[in-house]
Structure 1
Amino acid sequence: MCRTLLRLPFTILLSLFGFSAAQADELLSYKWQGVDRTAILHVPKGLEGQPAPVVIVMYGSGDKAANFQKNSGADVVADSENFITLYPEAIDGAWNIRAKRPVINGEPVDDVGFFRTMLDDLVNRNIADEKRIYATGFSFGALMSYTLACSLPDRIAAIAPVASAMNESQVENCKPGHPKPVMMINGTSDDVQLYDGYIRSFGRLTSVPETTEYWRRINSCTGVGVTPLPHLNPHDLTRASLFQWSGCAPGKAVQLYRIENGGHCWPRLASANNETEDEPRFGGCSNDIEATEEAWKFFKQFRVD
């Protein structure tokens, strides 16, 4: 199959995506499997012309890259901490984590090939630091981050999936496994990607404890400790604790932010804008951590071996 790489020679103003027009983002485009695959590249001011860390940020099923760029708050952290954010677009709003869907021209979508082509381009253009490329994602985007850790171990230095454990087929496809730093954020009352997993027609989602045990074993960790986090919003019905595994292989780590009563969401810090009374129900969104901030604190410790 002929797969030709293209890059659009223009930038997309941030105002198109609901941001200030003070800076411009680049719309990347690559011809892959006969269609144009795109991604939004955000380079903070001052990082132009030099290789920098890149955090891939992937949305959940049915969303769009521009929408998640705005709602995740990741660019604010990137601008403060001097790393690049990359927001890929999925085919039909879905990542290929089920092996046979979605489909392009009768073939399963090759998301892994698209990501490798895109990352190779950014490294060759002296934009991405090849040793410091990381992946995070929400829900099915979280599942895709597990796939990248297993499929591109030479490119991805660490991952931080939010609101999903691994599915069973990913565990099988990842054997014998690639040691990789992993930080997870999961709510115990998530009614979409259940904390205790599920079995459905397309396969089994493992539980969060099963997934952490998988990475504990792959990373050769031997112990675990837990730290309750400060509760910042009195109206927030969730509580967050950080589980940190110890004795891991050099350069490896496993962490879990367990959100009691936490639902299917991307946690954001408490602010004047979200301190309204939460409904008396399970499935709240934690205001005790900022997902991207915690991911970056974790990421910046690690490089590709």
Structure 2
Amino acid sequence: MNKKTFSLFGVAAIALVATVFSNNSYSQAAPLPAPLAPKITAVESIKKTSKTHDLRISVSVNKGTSKLPIVSTLVTANNKSCKILSGKQSCTITGVPVNTQVTIRAASRNKNGTSASSSPVRYTVGSARWSMTPSTTQPTTTSTTVVSTARAYSKFIPSSYSKDTSLPLVVLLHGYGATGAMQESYMKFESVAETNKFILVYPDGTVDSSGRRFWNATDACCDFLSDVADDVYLLSILKEMESSYSIDAKRIYFVGHSNGGFMSYRMACKYPDRIAAIASLAGASFFKATDCGAKSSVSVLQVHGTKDETILYEGGQILGTSYPGAVASASQWATFNQCTQNAATRSSKFDLEPNITGDETSVTAWTNCQNSSEVELWTMEGAAHIPTLKSTFATKIWEFFAAHPKP
């Protein structure tokens, strides 16, 4: 990777606040104590112009049983954020369009880098001040929990859930430097989960020495210093969800952006018997197919912009380690899935990026694959690493998932 590309990778990692971006055993390190999840206690609109308001958001922070001080609490509202530093109880998000319905979340991080996220609060900008009282509780369809590794993750349970009906499970993975809550704010899967009746989980990776969250996905991205077993952690989430809810084992899916896309590929490689399909936005599989070695089929959707200067559409390197391009990642999985129909580009296109004129996204498909699996590449002509996504993005990803359960 040249210096320009690596510099852009670093810039994109920091900018992922707008998007929200192992073979070793966990026994090598003790679980990290987590703080208690913060609670959003009040939201107030402060009029600035006829079209925009600022949001003053108050949060109750508790360090919990870890006895470690809370370093900071990041508050997000859709694609904007503010930070509450130690000793403070509120922060202000500026310039939010009036009448916009925002989903507000808070995530506290303690001194060892472990974090916990609040339940969301949905608020219409410009409406009356909201505060938590005995009669105004958090939505009952979402919650935050902690697995045995003491790493918090968020989950969304559709209001129609009944233990008598098994539902699909979608795991949403953030990019490098982001959090699960930021990724949900970027891709907006919760409303799709409510409408289409699936359970959504969005966990957090661990924090590296630069303070950025990451997943130990492939050899290229993005565990540069440690060797945390994130595949084991994510499998433990699957097991915990299956023990707590009625999950359809034939409809378990992973979707991720950038480093989260790399991690989705890793999970498909490691647990192809457990995962029906994955979707990767601006991620990549292993460079060497033998490092993946999937033994059974998984449907794969690769979505990638041709102007991505961070994870290059044609492939590249990160710190000297190669990753495959979008076509190569998809082709690799067409081989794993034993697809007999060569790649074919469909005539129809569609629009995923509202800032690019016309229908910029074309579809190349590998079909007639083992166990009714399929591989698709959605090429976003002219799109960058963090494209502005249309509101239909999450729905289209779900439509691909819904069409590709395990047999």
TM above 0.5: yes
Instruction: Find the aligned partners of 2:367 and 2:154 in 1 and give their Cα distance.
Output: 36
2:204 aligned with 1:89, yes or no? yes
**Among candidates 138, 145, 155, match of residue 28 of structure 1:** 145
Instruction: Find the aligned partners of 1:12 and 1:202 in 2 and give their Cα distance.
Output: 43
**Among candidates 208, 222, 227, match of residue 347 of structure 2:** 227
Aligned to 1:263: 384
1:31-69 Cα distance to aligned partner (Å, 9 max, x none): 32xxx2121010111115343111100110000112222
CA contact (8 A) 1:165 1:206 kept: yes
Mind listing any 5+ residue stretches in structure 1 that lack a counterpart? 271-289
TM-score (norm 1): 0.80
Task: Provide closer, same or farther for how the CA distance between residues 214 and 231 of structure 1 changes in structure 2, counting only shifts above 3 A.
Answer: closer
Instruction: Find the aligned partners of 1:129 and 1:9 in 2 and give their Cα distance.
Output: 30
**Among candidates 232, 241, 249, match of residue 370 of structure 2:** 249
**Among candidates 275, 284, 299, match of residue 401 of structure 2:** 299
Equivalence map 1:1-305=2 (5 Å): 1=27, 15-17=104-106, 19-20=121-122, 21-32=138-149, 36-49=150-163, 50-92=165-207, 93-98=213-218, 101=223, 108-168=227-287, 171-175=289-293, 177-221=295-339, 222-223=341-342, 224-231=344-351, 236-237=356-357, 239-265=360-386, 268-269=389-390, 290-305=392-407
Instruction: Find the aligned partners of 2:263 and 2:229 in 1 and give their Cα distance.
Output: 12
Q: How many angstroms does 1:148 deviate by?
A: 0.5
The structure in which a higher percent of residues are strand is 2
**What's the secondary structure of 1:255's corresponding residue?**
strand
Instruction: Find the aligned partners of 2:34 and 2:406 in 1 and give their Cα distance.
Output: 26
Instruction: Find the aligned partners of 1:111 and 1:11 in 2 and give their Cα distance.
Output: 24
**How many residues are paired up?**
278
Instruction: Find the aligned partners of 1:153 and 1:85 in 2 and give their Cα distance.
Output: 20
TM-score (norm 2): 0.62
Instruction: Find the aligned partners of 1:72 and 1:117 in 2 and give their Cα distance.
Output: 24
1:164-216 Cα distance to aligned partner (Å, 9 max, x none): 222325x3321254321011111111011000111233510111111121111
Instruction: Find the aligned partners of 1:204 and 1:126 in 2 and give their Cα distance.
Output: 40
Q: How many angstroms does 1:117 deviate by?
A: 1.3
Instruction: Find the aligned partners of 1:209 and 1:241 in 2 and give their Cα distance.
Output: 13
1:42-97 Cα distance to aligned partner (Å, 9 max, x none): 01111153431111001100001122222211111111111111001100110002
CA contact (8 A) 1:27 1:40 kept: yes
Task: Provide closer, same or farther for how the CA distance between residues 83 and 7 of structure 1 changes in structure 2, counting only shifts above 3 A.
Answer: farther
Q: Which amino acid aligns with 2:253?
A: Y
Please give the root-mean-square deviation of Cα atoms over the aligned residues, in Å: 3.0
CA contact (8 A) 1:183 1:255 kept: yes
Q: How many angstroms does 1:131 deviate by?
A: 1.9
Instruction: Find the aligned partners of 1:77 and 1:8 in 2 and give their Cα distance.
Output: 30
Task: Provide closer, same or farther for how the CA distance between residues 240 and 43 of structure 1 changes in structure 2, counting only shifts above 3 A.
Answer: same
Identical aligned residues as a percent: 23
Aligned to 2:210: none
CA contact (8 A) 1:228 1:241 kept: yes
Q: How many angstroms does 1:255 deviate by?
A: 0.8
Mind listing any 5+ residue stretches in structure 2 that lack a counterpart? 1-26, 41-102, 107-119, 123-137, 208-212
Q: How many angstroms does 1:12 deviate by?
A: 7.0
Q: How many angstroms does 1:254 deviate by?
A: 0.7
Q: Which amino acid aligns with 2:154?
A: I
1:276-297 Cα distance to aligned partner (Å, 9 max, x none): xxxxxxxxxxxxxx33212111
Structure of larger gyration radius: 2
Q: How many angstroms does 1:134 deviate by?
A: 0.3
Q: Which moved more, 1:197-206 or 1:139-148?
A: 197-206
Q: How many angstroms does 1:220 deviate by?
A: 2.0
Task: Provide closer, same or farther for how the CA distance between residues 10 and 254 of structure 1 changes in structure 2, counting only shifts above 3 A.
Answer: same
CA contact (8 A) 1:94 1:102 kept: no
Instruction: Find the aligned partners of 1:7 and 1:303 in 2 and give their Cα distance.
Output: 35
CA contact (8 A) 1:28 1:40 kept: yes
Instruction: Find the aligned partners of 1:12 and 1:85 in 2 and give their Cα distance.
Output: 21
Q: How many angstroms does 1:299 deviate by?
A: 0.8
